[in-house]
Structure 1
Amino acid sequence: MTTSESTPDAPIEQPMTELRRRLGQVSDLGAAEALMSWEQETSMPDEAARVRGLQLSTLAGLTHAMFTDDKTGELLDAAAPDSETDQAIVRVTRRDFGKATKLPTEFVEERTRAQNEAHHAWIAARKGSDFATFAPHLERMLDLARREADLRGFQEHPYDALLDNYQPGMRAGAVGTIFADLRNRTLPLLRRIAAADDAADYSVLTRPFPAEAQKAFAWRVAGEAFGLNGDFARQDESAHPFMTNFSRSDLRITTRVELYWPACLFGTWHETGHAMYERGVSERWERTPVSGGASLGVHESQSRLFENLLGRSLPFWERYFPQLVQAAPEVTAGLDAAGLYRAVNRVNPSMIRVEADEVTYNFHIMLRFELELALLEGTLKVSELPEAWNARMGEDLGLTPPNDAQGVLQDVHWSAGLIGYFPTYALGNLLSVQLLEAAQEDATITEGIQNAEYAPLLAWLTENVYRFGRSLTPTQITERATGRPLSADPYVAYLHRKYGEIYGLEES
């Protein structure tokens, strides 16, 4: 048969195969954008900021346009997934496609440019403690957030549309209820701790600890205790610690080094928790929308679990104190593991969220959540934000920031337009304890934790949380792993138990 006599063209491959190829290309574009963002934070020359913003905008636009193209919708409609894996890919992709198609590509490009400009303005404003220079950029980010909420649509509150980006299915009203309960049950504990006699010497926390020694110790322990290593991960420095990844085999964490050396150590182990979550996601989801954590709240449960429930525990320091003695003899002089444990668990209201203790940390999140609501609703003007911030800090924590850098400018999130992100930090705190308690129903895991041997726990987390990626919702993962919905009860009980013992508080 000659070419002219050929039958009409038939599909070369099945729609599901074509869909997976297309999703892989979208994922690759997103990875390229993430790589440029990581390099911007870790090693890019300052002068490159303007052009980098244009480059990122182009990549964001291309990624969004390809994903939301009619061809993606056609493939989703035509796909006939015949495996559990493909069914999950279609289900998650269809949900993401429905949300993404509500945002025009021009809006995505505009937002990316604005984020880049706001981010560099924030860096300069924070360095100079000058909120006024950042304020116009925050106004713009809030305007974009309101526009996004309107484009996506919502039933009760515009914040719901934004929160859903980070914690699918959660609503502002539910967060407000959880936070009110959390405040009512932890504020009395904070007041009792503040009234307790505390003769401990906390100067250890700011003793000289060379920068390179800090990073080396934190990284070594991240590998030995938690399994993070240079075969698939690396660590760098940035103004604000973060974790990003371009695949489960390419994980990047950052930290920062300060006189207050716990910031580097616990910041590294915090980001290690995020990294190990991504590492544990099943390879079958690679280069699809299912790859990655179920939500930022579930993700945060892992960073807080590694940083606090493990890294600030007495068994952890009984094991790793000898290594700290070798790494920083000036820090550990006159101390033992128990003394260091007491020091790193000091409850002391502070200005900086990422340095906050377990008891006060959630108050930082509740403050930001309530201010975000007010800013989005328009009941609080951007120009009034520093004053409102300082007033809330005084009300909850009894502190007044001496400048904007230690107050309203301390976090990177608003410069990136991440309105709706902050609640996930506190939700992650709650889930961290709920998951750990469920894991410890296995005696082998409990014994391992008592000896700072975490392989059994990591295996449980991989089996019950990590491997699913986004194929299960946050609610499904929580209920499947713990047998009940998310609750503040385990976390509140944990705080009262741990800090009641440390501070010698009688049960009330």
Structure 2
Amino acid sequence: MTFNDLKRRLGQISDLNAAAGLLSWEQETFMPPEAARVRGLQLATLAGLSHELFTAAETAQLLGEAQPGTEADAAVLRVARRDFEKATKLPTAFVEKQARAQNEAHHAWLDARARSDFAAFAPYLERMLNLARRQADLMGFEEHPYDALLDDYEPGMRASQVKTVFADLRDRTLPLLRRIRAAGDAADYSVLTRPFPAEAQKAFAWRVAGEAFGLLGSFARQDESAHPFQSNFSRSDIRITTRVEPYWPACLFGTWHEAGHAMYERGVADRWERTPVSRGASLGVHESQSRMFENLLGRSLPFWERYFPELQAAAPQVTEGLDARALYRAVNRVNPSLIRVEADEVTYNFHIMLRFELELALLDGSLAVRDLPEAWNARMQEYLGLTPPDDARGVLQDIHWSAGLIGYFPTYTLGNLLSVQLLEAARRDEAVAAGVDRAEYGPLRAWLAQQVHQHGRSLTPVELTVQATGQPLTADPYVAYLHRKYGEIYSLNGDGPQA
């Protein structure tokens, strides 16, 4: 057996996963509601076939005997062996059962959220948690069952490490939030809900995603869904979604967030296509790209100085009486909110800390599902001083638990930290720095493609971070960025804690 035999097998598995991904994307965008039950069976079948093919004895033989001829081949073999070791711990019957449960839970969540009825979703969530506990037991762990699930999204990371990072971040950003709120804010933020027609929102967001961030219709498309997401079935077939609301920044920044994900997948080198390497290094690294595009670039003053005239042309009723700096101030408002995806940069991570703490408690059984809404509301009050008026704007707002994505949430904050660390490293290149300061992002995109995107999963998150930035992940640049940016916006004299 040759290495080409192994690549052929891995390509078949990739194709099955792409077909399942396409069915999942269509389910969220265009599928008629009555198709849900059968779609669940179809997805379970594809998940089972992919798992059986990957964990088969022939695959084990190929992985054992294949001789890589190049460094790229060696990377494919290394990643495939790690994935095989994890996959063989899960029986095919369990994988199929989990896929069916995810599909049923997802549709139950859509209905429950529409009716703001957590009790209707609770049995499905209980089932997803039982499956997550079983998965953790099958995978094995040393400290906490959460570790086995987190490893799927952030390889090598443990819950204890996340706790340490979050505690440090909380201690260094909560005082900033308190100082901002104490400073007061007399600005008029009604601009954020001025009439902005739905099609005009989507068109403007998509046009800027192409011009500024490189997301083009030749390899990507955008549609609407209940919760924005990115899917890709090859580097030449990428789908993103957004949602349109009276609060129009949700559409714009949601599109640019998903554009960051999309451009990461687009930038993975051709040589990894149809292999396990052809994805991002981790969800934290992935989120560093989406949060960079959404916040570090999309909420920057140079960005709005450049794109304000285009917004004026697209939505004159939104921009009437404003200039670029006024809009910049508006889209960077610090105001604790109920909804995570609408949260500002200063308060966003508290949404993630809340979900992480609840996931740990649900998984180890110290919190019962029936008590989740009460626990959610209590932590919202503790962290952000808010109590959700209903389940839809509280415990039911996110898609993740219905999709079985337990262990995913910490990657958003890890991505926030890495986004600033990467941008600071990129700005050491004078062309990148000059481009970012003019909102011309071609040099930055080229730097990211070279230092981050092209590697796919061939580097671990730690290896990639050190290679690209010169040091392991640290919160220091991110904390300094928040104090610098919001100290200026809120006239705090830049005297926040030093990072």
| Alignment TM-score, normalising by the size of structure 2 | 0.99
2:358 corresponds to which of 345, 361, 371: 371
Equivalent residue, structure 1, for 2:250: 263
1:413 corresponds to which of 400, 409, 413: 400
Equivalent residue, structure 2, for 1:217: 204
Equivalent residue, structure 2, for 1:240: 227
For 1:313-332, what aligned pairs fall within 5 Å after superposition? Answer: 313-332=300-319
One-letter identity of the residue aligned with 1:294: A
Equivalent residue, structure 2, for 1:207: 194
Query: What 5-or-longer segments of structure 1 have no aligned partner?
Result: 1-13
Give the Cα separation in 2 of the matches to 1:418 and 1:289. Answer: 20
Equivalent residue, structure 2, for 1:188: 175
| CA displacement, residues 248-292 of structure 1 (integer Å, 9 cap, x when unaligned) | 000000000000000000000000000000000000000000001
Structure with max Cα Rg: 1
The structural deviation recorded for 1:476 is 0.4
One-letter identity of the residue aligned with 1:121: A
Equivalent residue, structure 2, for 1:403: 390
Pair 1:99-2:83 in alignment: no
Give the Cα separation in 1 of the matches to 2:393 and 2:431. Answer: 43
One-letter identity of the residue aligned with 1:249: S
SS of structure 2 residue aligned to 1:245: strand
Give the Cα separation in 2 of the matches to 1:415 and 1:396. Answer: 24
Pair 1:295-2:282 in alignment: yes
Give the Cα separation in 1 of the matches to 2:480 and 2:40. Answer: 46
Equivalent residue, structure 2, for 1:464: 451
Pair 1:74-2:56 in alignment: no
Give the Cα separation in 2 of the matches to 1:504 and 1:205. Answer: 22
| CA displacement, residues 29-73 of structure 1 (integer Å, 9 cap, x when unaligned) | 000000000000000000100110001000100011101111111
Equivalent residue, structure 1, for 2:430: 443
For 1:419-434, what aligned pairs fall within 5 Å after superposition? Answer: 419-434=406-421
One-letter identity of the residue aligned with 2:142: Q
The structural deviation recorded for 1:156 is 1.0
Give the Cα separation in 2 of the matches to 1:493 and 1:458. Answer: 24
SS of structure 2 residue aligned to 1:230: coil
SS of structure 2 residue aligned to 1:414: coil
The structural deviation recorded for 1:155 is 0.9
SS of structure 1 residue aligned to 2:309: helix
The structural deviation recorded for 1:366 is 0.3
The structural deviation recorded for 1:197 is 2.5
Give the Cα separation in 2 of the matches to 1:198 and 1:141. Answer: 43
SS of structure 2 residue aligned to 1:165: helix
Equivalent residue, structure 2, for 1:137: 124
| CA displacement, residues 323-365 of structure 1 (integer Å, 9 cap, x when unaligned) | 0000000000000000000000000000000000000000000
Give the Cα separation in 2 of the matches to 1:479 and 1:68. Answer: 33
Give the Cα separation in 2 of the matches to 1:169 and 1:460. Answer: 26
For 1:328-407, what aligned pairs fall within 5 Å after superposition? Answer: 328-407=315-394
| CA displacement, residues 286-314 of structure 1 (integer Å, 9 cap, x when unaligned) | 00000010000000000000000000000
Give the Cα separation in 2 of the matches to 1:313 and 1:335. Answer: 16
Give the Cα separation in 2 of the matches to 1:404 and 1:197. Answer: 30
Give the Cα separation in 1 of the matches to 2:50 and 2:435. Answer: 44
SS of structure 1 residue aligned to 2:238: strand
SS of structure 2 residue aligned to 1:416: coil
SS of structure 2 residue aligned to 1:253: strand
Identity of aligned residues (%): 77
The structural deviation recorded for 1:198 is 1.2
Task: State the superposition RMSD in angstroms.
Answer: 0.5
Equivalent residue, structure 2, for 1:10: none
Give the Cα separation in 1 of the matches to 2:329 and 2:93. Answer: 53
Give the Cα separation in 2 of the matches to 1:435 and 1:17. Answer: 36
Equivalent residue, structure 1, for 2:30: 43
| Alignment TM-score, normalising by the size of structure 1 | 0.97
Point out 4+ residue stretches in structure 1 off by more than 6 angstroms.
none
The structural deviation recorded for 1:15 is 2.1
2:213 corresponds to which of 202, 212, 226: 226
Equivalent residue, structure 2, for 1:56: 43
| CA displacement, residues 211-233 of structure 1 (integer Å, 9 cap, x when unaligned) | 00000000000000011110000
One-letter identity of the residue aligned with 1:158: P
SS of structure 2 residue aligned to 1:174: helix
Give the Cα separation in 2 of the matches to 1:63 and 1:251. Answer: 21
One-letter identity of the residue aligned with 1:408: V
SS of structure 1 residue aligned to 2:336: coil
Give the Cα separation in 1 of the matches to 2:243 and 2:44. Answer: 27
Count of matched residue positions in the alignment of Structure 1 and Structure 2: 495
One-letter identity of the residue aligned with 1:389: W
The structural deviation recorded for 1:82 is 1.6
The structural deviation recorded for 1:210 is 0.1
